[in-house]
Amino acid sequence: MRTVLTAAIVCLLGSLAAFAAPPKVLYVRCGTLIYDAEKPPITSAVVVITDGKVTSVGKDIAVPAGAEQVDLSSFTVLPGFVDAHIHIWSGPFGQPVSEPLAALRGSKAMSYALSSGIVGARVMATQGFIDVALRDAIEDGTIPGPHLVPAAHAISIPGGHGDFNAQPPYLPMDDFYTPLHGFINSTADAEKAVHLQLKYGARVIKVMASGGVLSPLDSPTSEQLSPEELKVIVQQAHMAHVKVGSHAENIRSIRASLEAGVDSIEHGSEMDQASADYMKSHGVVFVPTVFVVEESVANGVKMHFPEYVITKVNALAKTHFPSFQLALHSGVTIAAGSDHSYGPGTGTVRDEMIAEVKYGMTPQQALVSGTKTSAALLGLEQLGTIETGKEGDLVAVEGDPLNDIHALEKVRMVVFQGKSVTPANRQ
């Protein structure tokens, strides 16, 4: 009886296998293929993607039976881009919005990011765990978007960077200024804040070691978290095998963050040689966010920024670009982060790579920063290069970005997990 039953099960499984859907194969002809931005490109190359994974890369590859063929022989094909520092668009700057509406607008922003060729991004803080919800919705196929590494709430102080609360002091706010929302006043608060962000889905911890530009009550020249608080935060995050990115504008906050053991310095507008050397020797990644400063200085009024923002960013710019150049010339590992929220039609990590070249990088260095290095920082090992076994993500651009980085402004096709996505361009 058992033998008969086993035979029947084998027969049934065989019948089901016969009706299984055939693999989806994409055969892509490339004019020039930059499969790894650190290596020489290949001309007249082919990429084969099977069920969303790269299965062949090279020249003279036969077309698999039943494959869908895509001809990108007039374009340069690159790995999908990875943005190491983004936020989530929720509407016009300075206008309060409910968390449900912010999440809905954020879904539109993530669709725009994917259409721009961004296949991975690190969200460096939102409110209400919106970035965690978007990450989950993307991964389960509810909405389109790139792979996200969420930070949940940044860890800051009341009245510090990221505090936009405009309520008068006589209203009860004890339920708002809590470690759950990222606000701390002690090392005990700091430990609790890390645990709560991780519990509710954070996969990177963001700390506000200094003040910043956009929030109204703080200054980029101020320090916010004590050295003891920073050390506790890093210790607790690292115990959970989670990295820490530090918003650190001035040199004192940069030094304190490095001494605490953070994994990346965000912005770093007042770098000195000793800090750059430390970062290089200890493998700390620099995310300089060059483009957002350049854009804010040039277009702050058009972007309807309040006067306090324009004043702060103009002062910051005096040291920000030289700081980037110092780190670059010192050999610090640099990942590309736009610090943009991906409101449809706004800047992306493509603009960041273009700005990096303007201020001293070679085009190749910029492409590495926005693909391979950013993917490594985010722990997204399936991204960053086009090679067998990795995710089937491609971006086709018109022109040669190794000679003219502005070719990134002309995206002609995006492929994500083996499926084409309608491309988006700012111009």
Residue 74 lies in a domain: yes
Q: Is the pLDDT of residue 2 over 70?
A: no
pLDDT of res. 170: 75
131-174 pLDDT, tens digit each: 999 999 999 999 999 999 999 999 999 999 988 877 778 777 88
Per DSSP, the chain holds a count of helices (H) and strands (E) of 12, 14
Whether residue 250 sits in one domain with residue 190: yes
Q: Is the pLDDT of residue 7 over 60?
A: no
Residue 4 lies in a domain: no
Closest CA to 212 of 181, 185, 245, 248: 248
Whether residue 71 sits in one domain with residue 185: no
Q: What phi, psi does 207 have (nearest 5°)?
A: -115, 145
DSSP string, 372-412: IIHHHHHT-TTSSS--TTSB--EEEESS-TTT-GGGGG-EE
pLDDT of res. 350: 98
Whether residue 353 sits in one domain with residue 408: no
Whole domain around residue 57: which residue ranges? 22-79+388-421
CA distance 212 to 93: 15
Q: Is the pLDDT of residue 282 over 60?
A: yes
Report the 10 Å Cβ neighbour count for 176. Answer: 14
Whether residue 342 sits in one domain with residue 214: yes
Closest CA to 346 of 286, 426, 243: 426
Alpha helices in 140-216 (DSSP H): 187-199
Residue 426 lies in a domain: no
Q: How far is CA 27 from CA 32, 56, 78, 90, 199, in A?
A: 15, 9, 15, 38, 42
Let me know: does 29 contact 19? Beta carbons within 8 Å: no
CA distance 406 to 397: 10
Whether residue 291 sits in one domain with residue 394: no
pLDDT of res. 392: 98
Q: Please state the domain count of the chain.
A: 2
The dihedral over CA atoms of 386, 390, 396, 399, expressed in degrees to the nearest 10, equals: -20
pLDDT of res. 166: 74
Segment 35-49 shows an average pLDDT of: 98
CA distance 420 to 49: 12
Whether residue 70 sits in one domain with residue 184: no
Whether residue 398 sits in one domain with residue 314: no
Q: Does 20 or 129 have the greater pLDDT score?
A: 129
CA distance 292 to 230: 26
Residue 15 lies in a domain: no
CA distance 229 to 183: 12
With b for 16 or more beta-carbon neighbours within 10 A and e for fewer, the 380-405 pattern comes to bebbbbbeeebbbbbbbbebbbbeeb
Residue 11 lies in a domain: no
Whether residue 202 sits in one domain with residue 97: yes
Residue 10 lies in a domain: no
Let me know: does 223 contact 247? Beta carbons within 8 Å: no
Q: Is the pLDDT of residue 53 over 80?
A: yes
Q: Any idea what the CATH number is for the domain that residue 102 is in? A: 3.20.20.140
User: pLDDT-based confidence at 33, cuts 50/70/90?
Assistant: very high
Let me know: does 242 contact 151? Beta carbons within 8 Å: no
Whether residue 195 sits in one domain with residue 335: yes
Residue 8 lies in a domain: no
Q: What SS3 string covers 292-341?
A: HHHHHHHHCCCCCCCHHHHHHHHHHHHHHHHHHHHHHHCCCCECCCCCEC
Residue 3 lies in a domain: no
304-360 pLDDT, tens digit each: 899 999 999 999 999 999 999 999 999 999 999 999 999 999 999 999 999 999 999
Segment 234-260 shows an average pLDDT of: 98
354-383 pLDDT, tens digit each: 999 999 999 999 999 999 999 999 999 999
Closest CA to 289 of 246, 333, 339: 339
Give residues with Cβ within 8 angstroms of 426, minimum separation 6: 345, 346, 347, 348, 351, 409
CA distance 219 to 213: 7
Let me know: does 424 contact 410? Beta carbons within 8 Å: no
Kindly state the tokens that stand for 22.
């055939």
62-118 pLDDT, tens digit each: 999 999 999 999 999 999 999 999 999 998 877 888 999 999 999 999 999 999 999
The tokens 């990096």 sit on which residue?
A: 356
Helix (H, G, I), strand (E, B) or coil at 32: strand
Q: What phi, psi does 282 have (nearest 5°)?
A: -105, 5
- For CA atoms 261, 265, 268, 273, the dihedral sign is positive
Whether residue 308 sits in one domain with residue 213: yes
Whether residue 63 sits in one domain with residue 88: no
Give residues with Cβ within 8 angstroms of 97, minimum separation 6: 90, 91, 105
What amino acid occupies position 136?
A: D
Whether residue 92 sits in one domain with residue 68: no
DSSP state of 217: S
Q: Any idea what the CATH number is for the domain that residue 42 is in? A: 2.30.40.10
